């Protein structure tokens, strides 16, 4: 098994990363998962990861491919602060036309730490759920940003690690469709029941599309995407 047959998934416990995990299990021979604790308000997402891994491993023989899970702590992001995704700040658009949920450098750090872990574990592909199509205005979700980072990482580590972003050019409706194609109704159902996307960490109310406050940008994107997909 070559390094390019083995992948490390940035697995937050959200809808997008669940679809990415299914994508990776369908495509690669060995798959490991990586989550980050950075003081996020919606830290409940980390608690969802174990159930998601357990349930997805029951589908399509994927359990034989699913390897170790890893969690890394990045407390410096919370110490830097200044974002509604860490703390109780208001979710709004800022003067620089970026949402207040933007955490500067977050995805860059996630992928850098992920690449270092992949290097040590002989995994040749990083898979992330970054998306340009209906993203929340984050510049570190753009493919050109990730291409530049991929080049820097490989130059800096004398490696050949690729960054695979299967959701980059599809919207949330298409993400639900991808889940349906990869794992059928079972994958859609476990995504609804066990994943977490709400920025406020609300799991008190279950909607047709899953749990959340139904008010933050993450919930609104997920709900609109589910309604569009479900009505097709």
pTM: 0.89
Q: Across the chain, what does the average pLDDT equal?
A: 89
Beta strands 66-73 and 30-37 are parallel
Is a pLDDT exceeding 50 seen at residue 203? yes
pLDDT tens-digit map of 106-153: 888 999 999 999 999 999 999 999 988 765 567 787 899 899 999 999
pLDDT tens-digit map of 31-41: 999 999 988 87
The domain tally of the chain equals 1
Mean pLDDT of 179-202: 95
Rounded to whole angstroms, the Cα distance separating 13 from 210 reads: 13
pLDDT of residue 84: 46
pLDDT of residue 217: 81
Domain that holds residue 89: 3-230
Q: What is the pLDDT confidence band of residue 86, given thresholds at 50, 70 and 90?
A: low
Which residues, including other chains, have CB under 8 Å from residue 45's CB and lie 6 or more apart? 12, 13, 14, 196, 197, 201
CATH number at residue 140: 3.40.50.620
pLDDT of residue 151: 98
Rounded to whole angstroms, the Cα distance separating 81 from 170 reads: 31
Neighbouring C-alpha atoms within 13 Å toward the C-beta of 67: 18
Q: Are the C-beta atoms of residues 21 and 11 closer than 8 Å to each other? A: yes
Q: What percent of the chain has pLDDT over 70?
A: 88
Rounded to whole angstroms, the Cα distance separating 144 from 219 reads: 26
Q: What is the pLDDT confidence band of residue 232, given thresholds at 50, 70 and 90?
A: confident
**What's the 3-state SS for the chain?**
CCHHHEEEEECCCCHHHHHHHHHHHHHCCEEEEEEEECCCCCCHHHHHHHHHHHHHCCCCCHHHCEEEEEEEECCHHHHHCCECCECCCCCCECCCCCECCCCCCHHHHHHHHHHHHHHHHCCCEEECCCCCCCCCCCHHHCHHHHHHHHHHHHHHHCCCCEEECCCCCCCHHHHHHHHHHHHHHHHHHHHHHHCCCCCCCCCCCEECCEECCCCCHHHHHHHHHHHHHHCC
Which of 94, 83, 3, 5 lies closest to 40, judged by CA?
A: 83
Least trusted range by pLDDT, from 13-27, 37-51, 128-142: 128-142
**What's the 3-state SS for 169-221?**
CCCHHHHHHHHHHHHHHHHHHHHHHHCCCCCCCCCCCEECCEECCCCCHHHHH
């Amino acid at each position: 098994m070559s390094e390019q047959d083995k992948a490390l998934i940035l697995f937050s416990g959200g809808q997008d990363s669940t679809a990415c995990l299914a994508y990776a299990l369908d495509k690669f021979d060995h798959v490991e998962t990586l989550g980050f604790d950075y003081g996020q308000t919606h830290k409940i997402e980390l608690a969802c990861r174990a159930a998601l891994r357990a349930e997805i491993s029951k589908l399509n023989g994927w359990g034989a491919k699913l390897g170790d899970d890893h969690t890394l702590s990045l407390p410096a992001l919370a110490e830097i602060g200044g974002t509604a995704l860490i703390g109780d700040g208001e979710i709004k658009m800022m003067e620089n036309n970026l949402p207040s949920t933007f955490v500067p450098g977050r995805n860059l750090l996630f992928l850098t730490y992920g690449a270092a872990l992949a290097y040590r574990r002989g995994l040749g592909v990083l898979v992330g759920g970054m998306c340009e199509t209906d993203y929340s205005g984050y510049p570190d979700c753009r493919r050109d940003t990730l291409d530049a980072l991929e080049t820097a990482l490989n130059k800096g580590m004398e490696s050949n690690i690729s960054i695979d972003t299967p959701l980059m050019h599809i919207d949330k409706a298409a993400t639900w469709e991808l889940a349906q194609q990869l794992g059928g109704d079972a994958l859609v159902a476990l995504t609804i029941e066990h994943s977490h996307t709400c920025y406020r960490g609300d799991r008190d109310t279950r909607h047709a599309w899953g749990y959340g406050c139904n008010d933050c940008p993450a919930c609104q994107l997920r709900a609109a995407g589910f309604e569009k997909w479900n009505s097709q």
